[in-house]
Each structure stands twice: as structure tokens, then as C-alpha cells.
């Protein structure tokens, strides 16, 4: 009997017990979560891969006073109003029209998809038409209301320290995340790989197009990762996944992984706490749901256990 391992198996129980007693933690099936964690702990860090959403997952949903913060697209909404009030208004109208559709529990994914394509398409069209330069975008990011969740930079540092690949799979804008991480952390950690929408720049450093295929909330799956095949092949030995997201569209982000191991899904629920139907939905899709938690403390504990 490997005493070292037993010690860890023991602490999975202790961790789950202490988590279950917290009001902001919901676990639908503790036994299945414990089983996944035991498998992951036994396989260790060399088998581990983390796949995370960015907007409102690695980044914070609301500030201390409860005001909603920005997504990576929101960086443009926020700043457009300063440089071009008309454009600012157009972005606001888009967001007010489409955000409620994205999170409407009464619509199916199929019903939502055409609206999401229209939102992203129009928004990207505005960004390209405006001809913003790379330097302007860096300035927008600096002045934006994108904020990391408490403990997110420490969590990214621990992953980098032990060499765990972190795939940031985002329907936001990858360059904005890159610029943001460079501004906050000094550089993009070496273990980070992006799957996201990328702004393409012309020879004058002006935004001129977006990368294809378009990634919106409800296509974060096999349809957009074809061109990532070589990356996923490179990390093929890593068959155990910790997945983090805040949307129902995030739960299949592990489809590119060549794997036979488990995926432990950690969901951040930023919605209405009295909306039991939505919460049930999240609990059915995610192994553990963190309700209005502005920190990365729980993922950090889970990562520490599994990676050691
Ligand atoms: N999201 C998607 N689009 C926009 C936009 O034009 N403005 C703002 N403020 N937010 C947008 O990371 C994906 C998230 O980004 C948001 C086109 C969506 O709510 C989506 O969940
Ligand atoms: Mg998100």
C-alpha cells in the first residue's frame, strides 16, 4: 500500500466534506466527484491538463459593489464611447439585445445560435470598420474593467511552476486576453495555449479581420478545434482534465483531448441565486458549482491536490 497516495485519498474526502459545508458550493454527486479526483490524484500531474474559459471564469463577473465587469469584447464597448460616442451606443444596443438571449433558460441552444452569430458578426464588423490600431487596443485594455478573479494569477503561476498546460478556450478575443495578461503578469505564462477569436492586423497595425472559424458561446467544441489538432496531439499523454467555465456552453471544451481519463468540471454560477431551474441545470452539467464566488480558492485546492 502506497502510504503517500492513501494520504491524498484521505484528503480528497476531507476537502469534499469541507467544501460541501460551504453555502456557495453545490455538488450534485459527491461520490462521482470523489471518484474522478481519486483517479486524477493517482495519475498525477504529468497526466493533467487544465482547460479554462476566460470571460467571467478566469476574470471576475462583478466588483465589490455588485456591478458587472467587462468581458474581452466589452473592452471595446467601454472604450468606444470615449473615442466615438456613436459607436459606443451601437455596442451598448448590441449587448442589451443579445446578452439576455445568451442566458435565456427558455431558449434551446439551436434557437440561440443564429443570434450569437449575429452578435459576434456585427461586433467584429464594428471593430474592423473602426480600424483600431494595436496600440489603441493596448490602451483600451489598460483602461478597461476586466479584472482577474482573486487568486487567478496565483493559480496560473502554480500551473506554470509544475508545467501543467493551461488551454484558455475563449469565445472572447484572444489578443485582448494576451495583452491583458502581459499587462497584469508581465508576460503570458509559457504553459498557456489560446483557442480564441484573434484580431488580424494589416501592415499599418490596424485591425483588418478576425480569425476563422468564429468562436461564439455555443460552438466551443469539435467544430472549432480542427485546426488545433496538432496542439492536442502534442499533449496527447495528458488525459485527465480540469475544466472551468461559467456558461453552459463551456462544458464540452474538452472534446479535442485524446483521452480515456476523467474531466472534472468546475462551474462558476454568476446568475440569479433564486433561479433554481438554472442552478439545477448547472449542477447537472458541472461536478461542482461555485455560486457567486469571486475567488479561485476552490480550483486552487483541487489543483494542488491533483498535481502533487
Ligand atoms: N460577448 C460577446 N460579444 C460581446 C460584445 O460585443 N460585447 C460585450 N460586452 N460582450 C460580448 O467570452 C464570451 C462572452 O463575451 C460576451 C460579441 C458574451 O456574453 C460571451 O459569453
Ligand atoms: Mg465565460
Give pLDDT, residue 81: 86
Residue from 93, 172, 253 whose mutation best tests the ligand 1 pocket (most atoms within 8 A of CB): 172
Give pLDDT, residue 20: 87
Cβ density class 22-57: b for 16+ within 10 Å, e for less = eeebbbeeeeebbebbbbbbebebebbbbbbbbbbb
Give pLDDT, residue 308: 81
Q: Predicted ipTM? A: 0.99
Give pLDDT, residue 10: 62
Give pLDDT, residue 102: 92
Give pLDDT, residue 3: 52
**Ligand 1 atom 12: residue of nearest CA:** 172
Give the helix, strand, coil percentages of the chain, each rounded to 5: 50, 15, 30
Q: What residue ranges of the chain have pLDDT lower than 50?
A: 1-2
**Ligand 1 atom 1: residue of nearest CA:** 73
Amino acid at each position: 500500500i502506497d502510504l503517500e497516495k492513501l494520504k491524498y485519498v484521505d484528503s480528497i474526502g476531507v476537502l469534499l466534506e469541507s467544501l460541501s459545508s460551504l453555502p456557495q458550493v453545490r455538488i450534485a454527486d459527491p461520490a462521482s466527484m470523489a471518484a474522478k479526483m481519486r483517479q486524477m490524484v493517482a495519475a498525477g500531474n504529468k497526466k493533467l491538463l487544465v482547460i479554462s474559459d476566460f470571460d467571467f471564469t478566469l476574470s471576475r463577473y462583478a466588483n465589490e459593489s455588485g456591478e458587472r465587469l467587462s468581458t474581452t469584447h466589452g473592452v471595446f464597448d467601454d472604450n468606444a464611447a470615449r473615442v466615438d460616442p456613436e459607436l459606443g451606443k451601437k455596442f451598448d444596443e448590441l449587448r442589451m439585445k443579445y446578452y439576455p438571449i445568451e442566458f435565456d433558460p427558455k431558449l434551446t441552444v439551436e434557437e440561440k445560435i443564429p443570434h450569437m452569430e449575429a452578435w459576434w458578426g456585427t461586433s467584429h464588423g464594428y471593430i474592423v470598420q473602426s480600424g483600431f490600431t494595436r496600440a489603441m487596443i493596448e490602451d483600451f485594455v489598460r483602461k478597461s474593467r476586466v479584472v482577474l478573479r482573486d487568486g487567478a494569477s496565483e493559480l496560473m503561476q502554480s500551473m506554470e511552476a509544475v508545467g501543467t498546460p493551461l488551454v484558455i478556450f475563449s469565445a472572447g478575443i484572444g489578443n485582448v486576453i494576451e495583452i491583458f495578461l502581459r499587462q497584469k503578469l508581465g508576460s503570458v505564462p509559457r504553459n498557456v495555449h489560446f483557442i480564441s477569436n484573434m484580431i488580424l492586423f494589416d501592415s499599418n497595425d490596424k485591425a483588418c479581420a478576425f480569425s476563422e472559424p468564429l468562436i461564439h458561446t455555443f460552438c466551443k467544441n469539435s467544430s472549432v478545434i480542427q485546426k488545433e489538432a496538432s496542439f492536442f496531439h502534442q499533449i496527447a499523454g495528458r488525459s485527465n482534465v480540469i475544466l472551468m467555465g461559467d456558461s453552459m456552453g463551456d462544458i464540452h471544451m474538452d472534446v479535442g483531448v485524446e483521452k480515456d481519463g476523467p474531466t472534472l468540471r468546475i462551474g462558476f454560477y454568476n446568475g440569479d441565486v433564486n433561479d433554481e431551474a438554472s442552478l439545477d441545470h448547472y449542477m447537472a452539467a458541472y461536478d461542482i458549482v461555485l455560486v457567486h464566488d469571486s475567488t479561485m480558492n476552490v480550483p486552487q485546492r483541487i489543483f494542488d491536490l491533483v498535481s502533487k
